[in-house]
């Protein structure tokens, strides 16, 4: 069997079930990569992935209602009804010779082999045309995937682990959010949707702590600069938190369990992230500030252990302290070593 490359798969996905003469040839990606669509279509036909047909049961669907009514009128048939009824009337009233005289449009249809390949490579359309994971990268990743695995999940998981290893937690959290949406909309699975939502909370939160350390150098109002944006998680937890009033401790226990299937988290910090989410959802600003304060204290304690006992953190715009010698010491949260350990 002739194995299709990624651009051949793309042409197959884009043009199957389309009219001959109405091929997709001018998408930006296709033009940019100089993909010869018509040559690939010929190769797909020659290698038994697709064929052209104008049998009435397929081709009539590609005619407009006005065109269908013209055929009915010419054959002295009733014109009433919706499109499906018009097509059904023609199929039941005209013989093969009559249909041959109509010059119905030819359609690209997939063979059994083509349908199997389309099913196995659904990920092509998910990552096309513009995605942070290109269809070429996706294609290369799935070469190591088992046949029965969900390839879209496999691809995202590959990049989630890759980004975690390189401490690109923002990207890892983004991919986890994309997977949660995939299992919400494209391939509904409530358990997997929840797992990836929970993973995204932890990864986005950890990325914010990296950002928090950087802000310590430049911001005079660090508390005001906290983001902790959990947009997808907020939508997911809206019903259990605001409507069903599910016990938060039960939700937190499930959340921690989900994270541990990917990474061993710092339980204290991980718990703070989801409590921040809950506080924002309930608009409990007192609780939100408590979670922020707990995180600050956690890292300040780690810092103070390495400084003079009489060193004090001054709530000043420059976030400074003075040592016994009078030297100014900038209290920076030592996140990078800690985060590396956590990851």
Instruction: Compute the distance between CA of residue 238 and CA of residue 55 in angstroms, rounded to an integer.
Output: 50
Instruction: For residues 44 and 12, give the distance between their C-alpha atoms in angstroms, rounded to a whole number.
Output: 8
CA distance 330 to 217: 9
Q: What are the tokens at 249?
A: 């401790």
Q: What's the pLDDT at 292?
A: 85
Of the candidates 242, 249, 270, which has an alpha carbon nearest to the alpha carbon of residue 339? 270
CA distance 40 to 23: 11
How sure is the predictor about 298, in pLDDT bands with cuts at 50, 70 and 90?
A: confident
Q: What is the DSSP string of 170-219?
A: HHHHHHHHHHHHIIIIIS--HHHHHHHHHHHHHHHHHHHHHHHHHHHHH-
Nearest by Cα to 126 from 144, 109, 138 = 138
The pLDDT value recorded for residue 309 is: 40
Residue 57 near residue 76 (C-beta atoms within 8 A): no
Q: What angle do CA 248, 252, 256 make, to 5 degrees?
A: 175
Of 263 and 153, which is predicted with more confidence?
153
Place of tokens 């190769």: 43
Structure tokens at 195: 């797992």
Per-residue pLDDT, 78: 94
What tens digit of pLDDT does each residue of 94-144 get?
Answer: 998 899 889 899 999 999 999 999 999 999 999 998 789 999 999 999 998
Percentage above 70 pLDDT, the chain: 83
**Average pLDDT score over residue span 80-103:** 93
Q: Model confidence at 224, in pLDDT bands (50, 70, 90)?
A: low
Q: What is the pLDDT of residue 234?
A: 93
Token reading at 227: 């983001």
With b meaning 16 or more CB within 10 Å and e meaning fewer, what string describes 87-98?
bebbeeebeeee
Q: What is the pLDDT of residue 310?
A: 36
Q: What is the average pLDDT across 327-332? A: 26
Mean pLDDT check: name the lowest of 8-17, 228-237, 314-323: 314-323
- Of the two residues 217 and 248, the one the predictor is more confident about is 248
Q: What distance in Å separates the CA atoms of residue 50 and residue 16, rounded to the nearest whole number?
A: 7
Q: How far is Cα 86 from Cα 78, in angstroms, rounded to an integer? A: 9
Would you state the pLDDT for residue 1? 67
pLDDT (average), residues 203-221? 67
Is a pLDDT exceeding 90 seen at residue 308?
no
| Cα–Cα distance measured from residue 326 to residue 339, given in angstroms and rounded to the nearest whole number | 31
Eight-class DSSP state of 19: B
Rounded distance, CA 225 to CA 57, Å?
A: 62
């Amino acid at each position: 069997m002739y194995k299709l490359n990624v651009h051949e798969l793309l042409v197959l996905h884009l043009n199957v079930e389309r009219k001959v003469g109405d091929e997709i040839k001018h998408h930006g990606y296709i033009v940019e990569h100089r993909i010869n669509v018509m040559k690939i279509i010929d190769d797909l036909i020659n290698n038994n992935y697709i064929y052209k047909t104008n049998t009435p049961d397929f081709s009539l669907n590609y005619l407009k209602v006005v065109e269908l009514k013209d055929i009915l009128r010419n054959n002295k048939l009733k014109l009433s009804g919706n499109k499906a009824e018009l097509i059904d009337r023609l199929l039941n009233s005209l013989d093969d010779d009559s249909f041959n005289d109509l010059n119905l449009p030819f359609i690209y249809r997939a063979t059994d082999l083509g349908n199997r390949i389309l099913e196995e490579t659904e990920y092509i359309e998910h990552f096309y045309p513009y995605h942070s994971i290109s269809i070429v990268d996706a294609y290369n990743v799935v070469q190591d995937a088992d046949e029965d695995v969900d390839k879209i999940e496999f691809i995202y998981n590959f990049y989630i682990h890759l980004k975690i290893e390189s401490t690109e937690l923002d990207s890892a959290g983004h991919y986890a959010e994309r997977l949660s949406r995939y299992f919400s909309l494209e391939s509904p699975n409530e358990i997997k949707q929840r797992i990836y939502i929970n993973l995204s909370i932890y990864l986005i939160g950890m990325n914010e702590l990296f950002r928090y350390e950087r802000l310590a150098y430049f911001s005079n109002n660090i508390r005001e600069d906290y983001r902790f944006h959990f947009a997808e998680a907020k939508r997911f937890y809206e019903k259990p938190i605001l409507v069903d009033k599910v016990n938060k401790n039960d939700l937190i226990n499930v959340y921690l369990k989900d994270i541990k299937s990917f990474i061993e988290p710092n339980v204290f910090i991980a718990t703070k992230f989801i409590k921040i989410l809950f506080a924002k959802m309930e608009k409990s600003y007192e609780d939100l500030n408590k979670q922020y304060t707990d995180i600050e204290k956690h890292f300040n304690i780690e810092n103070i252990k390495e400084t003079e006992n009489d060193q004090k953190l001054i709530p000043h715009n420059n976030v400074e302290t003075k040592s016994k010698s009078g030297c100014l010491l900038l209290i920076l949260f030592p996140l990078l070593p800690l985060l590396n350990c956590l990851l």
